[in-house]
Amino acid sequence: MSKRDIFAVIFDMDGLMFDTERIAIQAWRKAGTAYGYDIPESLIMDSIGRNARDTRFLFEKALGKDFDFQQVRKLRIHYAEEHIKQHGVPLKGGLLEVLDVLTTSSVLRAVATSTERARAETLLTAANVLEKFDVVICGDDVRKGKPAPDIFLLAARRLQTFPEQCMVLEDSESGIRAAVDAHMIPILIPDIKPPSEETLNLVYKVFPDLYGVALYLSHILQTSNSQ
């Protein structure tokens, strides 16, 4: 692979750029308890990478139609926001290094997150990285969330590049499936949920963290520039 193969890199956000999935799990559990529900951690893990609509379907299927998803989710968001206000946005190690490599090599950059725009832009701004991206696509920009490929295809259109020339950095299984169905280059950086064998068979490469991604991209982009 060379720079000629990569015109753009598309980033997931929660669990990939920001270490927010752990915060979300604790916030879901706390909010559920406040409303009298014991939300299993396994159920929360299954929702990783999915938009609010699909998460609601999962939760109601497991907890019953009487589960007040909107109110519990509202409280969950409040708990998570309070944590971030106190402690700041937890950046994943290597994120800034990846962005620096791509900026230096003039590779386009996009965010494609299942999170709604209001919250996504708040986090990106608080982390001082919003201006580093050419395009930000959010969960409320598409009708079908991950694992459907819609959000990645929209990002490619906004970047005015072909899907095959886009690399996707993802931590979730649903995100990897979406990238594959979008005919993009799927790169997995696992977070708190270990990938299944099926997911590992779908990816182009796996890295333990974004530092590894930065080194890899630096190598292939610098190699291309020297040719």
Round to whole Å and give the CA distance between 186 and 204: 6
Residue 227: what pLDDT? Answer: 47
Q: What is the pLDDT of residues 135-162, one digit of tens each?
A: 999 999 999 999 999 999 999 999 999 9
Q: What mean pLDDT do residues 213-224 have?
A: 87
Q: Strand, helix or coil at 33?
A: helix
For 93, other C-beta atoms within 10 Å of its C-beta total 11
From residue 174, give the alpha-carbon distance in Å to each of 42, 177, 180, 209: 15, 5, 10, 19
**Are 70 and 188 a contacting pair, CB within 8 Å?**
no
146-179 as b/e: b if 16+ CB within 10 A: bbbbbbbbbbbebbebebebbbbbbbbbbbbbbb
The CA angle 10-16-19, to the nearest 5 degrees, is 150
Chain mean pLDDT for the chain: 94
Greater confidence (5 vs 91) lies with 91
pLDDT of residue 155: 98
Q: Do residues 186 and 203 touch, judged by C-beta distance below 8 A? A: yes
The answer to whether the beta carbons of residues 97 and 129 sit under 8 Å apart is no
Neighbour-count burial of 58, counting CB atoms closer than 10 A to its CB (0-12 exposed, 13-18 middle, 19+ buried): middle
- On the 0-12 / 13-18 / 19+ scale of CB atoms within 10 A, 208 is exposed
Using CA atoms, how far residue 179 sits from 79, 156, 161, in Å, is 31, 11, 15
**9, exposed or middle or buried, with CB in 10 Å at 0-12, 13-18, 19+?**
buried
Give CA–CA dist 171/189, Å, rounded: 5
Given a contact cutoff of 8 angstroms between Cβ atoms, the answer to whether 210 and 95 are in contact is yes
Query: What pLDDT is stored for residue 171 in this prediction?
Result: 96
Q: What is the pLDDT of residues 43-86, one digit of tens each?
A: 999 998 888 889 999 999 999 999 999 999 999 999 999 999 99
pLDDT in tens, 113-138: 999 999 999 999 999 999 999 999 99
